[in-house]
Structure 1
Amino acid sequence: MQMKGAIGGFYKLCDWIMKLAFINLLWMVFSIFGLVVFSFFPATIAMFVVIRKMLMGDFDIPVFKTFLESFKKDFFKSNLLGLILFILGYFLYVDIHLIRTTGGLLNLIYYPALIICLGFVLTVCYAFPTFVHYDFKVHQVLKSSFIIMLLNPLSTILIVIGGSAVYLLMTTVPGLIPLFSGSTLAVVIMWSSFFAFSRIERAERAALGISDTAVVKRNK
């Protein structure tokens, strides 16, 4: 029997909290299992897959089974994405470090370089939702994430505000980090990204006449 009213809302909140804690535990365990290097990105993608399904209304999914299936299915593809992101991030870090230590005329490009780094970080935030929401190749994920970040300032602002709130909460109460750090941030990023995805899908329907049902089936 489904509970309604305040009691039903409280029960659902507790259910969300327990599932987020379990998802975060799975994310940490699977990341450590592969010594982080080989399993961080597959575990992160698996976490986003589960969070996406829950946010889309499929709340009663078997969390462990869904997580494990995604981890195995997307292991190589997600690691390829992670490798590319790591290389790009490393080069940006080296550039910023050289600009700061060299000084001189290079100081003129310090702030533009910081803006580029911010754009990269935000693109990474969109990369995970885009990866799990669309059936794209890795290069398409990167390209689409960058374009979505640029064209959807509302979603981007929500990610920044929500991510900052999660960071503030975790630093204020460090005991929450093992339970909710990754899963809560994934909820914020995935939920914010849905605004951008909805806008894209409305544009697709308007331009191509795709029905709502067709779009939903494609994204399941």
Structure 2
Amino acid sequence: MEMHGFTGAFYRVCVWIARFAYVNALWVTFTLLGLIVLGFMPATTAMFAVVRRWVQNDHDIPIFKTFVTNYRKDFVKANGLGLFYGLLIGLILVNLALLPPDPLWATLLRYAFMFIGLLTFGALLFLIPVFVHFELSIYQYVRTSIMLALSYPHYAITMTAGMFALQYVFMTVPGLIPFFAASFISYVLMWLSNRVFSHLKKRSDATDYEGQASGV
């Protein structure tokens, strides 16, 4: 029997709070099971895989089964992607730290590495949503996330603003961090990314229709 009114709304809020807390707990647990270094990326992609289904209005999925299935399936590929971006970020930071402060060439290189770093950050915002939404190679994941960051900078800015807003909330109420930090952030990033994916699909469908019409 479906509940209505205040009671029904309160019940649904409680259900969603429990879902977010549960997924966050799974993320922490499986990150630790992978000894953090090997567990972080597959646990993160598994969490996004669950959240993606919620964003697509599939609210009654078996959370644990979906999480574990994706964790196992993507363990190697997710860690490969994490290794690539870890090395890239490390390379950017090392070069910025080692560049001398004065010569013009060093200043130009510094700005170049800062631009690469900014682009890398934008690509990272889309990376995991792209990973769980598409079946691609590691190279294609990297290329697609970069292209989305360049093509939809307003979404990247909105994602960043959303993350800062959540960070402010979590810093204001630190007790929420162990229960909701990762799952809330993943939902914001996945929800915004899904809007981009929907826009891309509409453009693709429109292009296919125009192509078919012109061939008639």
TM normalised by structure 1 equals 0.89
2:33 aligned with 1:33:
yes
Measure how far apart 1:188 and its partner are.
0.7
In 2, the alpha carbon distance for the partners of 1:19 and 1:49 equals 14
Q: Deviations over 1:184-208 (max 9, x none)?
A: 1001100111121111111110112
Give 1:218's aligned residue: none
2:58 is paired with a residue of what secondary structure?
coil
Letter in structure 1 aligned against 2:161: I
Measure how far apart 1:47 and its partner are.
0.2
In 2, the alpha carbon distance for the partners of 1:134 and 1:3 equals 37
* Aligned counterparts, 1:89-168, within 5 A: 89-99=89-99, 102-105=100-103, 106-168=106-168
Give 1:77's aligned residue: 77
Q: Deviations over 1:9-46 (max 9, x none)?
A: 33222211111111111101100111111111000000
2:35 is paired with a residue of what secondary structure?
coil
Measure how far apart 1:4 and its partner are.
3.2
In 2, the alpha carbon distance for the partners of 1:43 and 1:12 equals 26
Q: Deviations over 1:131-168 (max 9, x none)?
A: 00111111111100110111113321220110111111
8 Å contact from structure 2 (residues 24, 179) kept in 1: yes
In 2, the alpha carbon distance for the partners of 1:115 and 1:6 equals 50
Q: Percent identity?
A: 37
Query: How many residues end up aligned between the 2 structures?
Result: 208
Letter in structure 2 aligned against 1:103: P
8 Å contact from structure 1 (residues 155, 195) kept in 2: no
What 5-or-longer segments of structure 1 have no aligned partner?
211-220
Closer, same or farther in 2 for the Cα pair 1:119/1:5, shift >3 Å?
A: farther
In 2, the alpha carbon distance for the partners of 1:116 and 1:11 equals 46
Q: Which has the larger radius of gyration?
A: 2
In 2, the alpha carbon distance for the partners of 1:53 and 1:74 equals 17
8 Å contact from structure 1 (residues 122, 149) kept in 2: yes
Closer, same or farther in 2 for the Cα pair 1:66/1:97, shift >3 Å?
A: same
Letter in structure 1 aligned against 2:190: M
106-115 or 149-158, larger mean C-alpha shift: 106-115
In 2, the alpha carbon distance for the partners of 1:9 and 1:93 equals 48
TM normalised by structure 2 equals 0.91
Measure how far apart 1:6 and its partner are.
3.7
Give 1:191's aligned residue: 191
Measure how far apart 1:62 and its partner are.
1.1
In 2, the alpha carbon distance for the partners of 1:209 and 1:4 equals 43
